[in-house]
Amino acid sequence: MSILRNSPPLGVDKIRINKFFTEHGICSRREADRLIEAGRVTVNATVAKLGDQVSTADVIACDGRVIPWGQARVYIKYHKPVGVTTTSESHIPRNIISEIGHPERIFPIGRLDKDSSGLILLTNDGDIVNEILRTEFGHEREYEVGLDRPYDQSFLDRLAKGVVILGKKTQPCRVQRLSPKRFTIILTEGRNRQIRRMCQALGYRVVALHRVRIMHVTLAGLSSGRWKPLTTEEQRDLFRAVRRSSASHEDAEHS
């Protein structure tokens, strides 16, 4: 016999069930909708439906496992080595979640290719993910790149102006020479394998790709394969950047 859904006490806010999943670090809203459509989510032992509203008075479970309310927010940075795959899927060898082994359920913000290394942020705060990743907010990501052969100044100039990949020109970016085969590049967008595709379009092959910075967060003091929580200052700067970009975006939509 199924349990009837309770009405929340007066003054208790309700949220959409897919938002509950993101706020508790389970998965994205889209992934939550797929779980719901597959009948794997219940609210008070009744199979959930897309668009259901829930509150702290409800018991939500996925695959029979109850998900507790009130999980603390987690924000960490990880120095990903080459060979680790940026996925939450547990069956993938050396997936980023098993490599980190964090006690809370977290997921990566964006991704790095298996053959790339460097900084990646992880969290259980689903609401902050899109604000960091959305291209129009212009959040910077800095990389060090190694090529298969020496390049000239015209190569850097063409990169900086934008290169057509996958039928669309990339946004202008900042580049700086490090050595005959190495340079840094700062992007404000994150298209699939973007740097590798940009270099390939200009006749070069990337042999090493290392991310050193996401916005104000860097790898300073973090060795390969290690992770640590963002400091209070890093979190504060992150929230400030997200609130500023979100507010500007909302103002533009309503202007």
Domain boundaries in the chain? 15-66, 75-134+218-225+244-254, 140-214
Helices (H) and strands (E) in the chain, counts: 7, 17
Considering the candidates 33, 113, 148, 157, report the single residue annotated as catalytic.
113
Query: Which CATH number does the domain 15-66 belong to among 3.40.630.30, 3.40.50.11710, 3.40.1160.10, 3.10.290.10?
Result: 3.10.290.10
Class of domain 75-134+218-225+244-254 as given by CATH:
alpha beta
Spatial CB neighbours of 38, under 8 Å, sequence gap ≥ 6: none
Listed residue (75, 78, 41, 76) closest to 60, CA to CA: 41
pLDDT (tens digit, 9 = 90+) per residue, 112-149? 999 999 999 999 887 787 777 766 567 899 999 999 99
Rounded to 10 deg, the angle between the 232-254 and 126-133 helix axes is: 70
Q: What pLDDT shows up at residue 247?
A: 44
Is 251 a catalytic site residue? no
Distances (CA, A) of 34 to 38, 122, 218, 253: 6, 22, 34, 29
Q: What pLDDT shows up at residue 7?
A: 40
CATH of domain 140-214: 3.30.70.1560
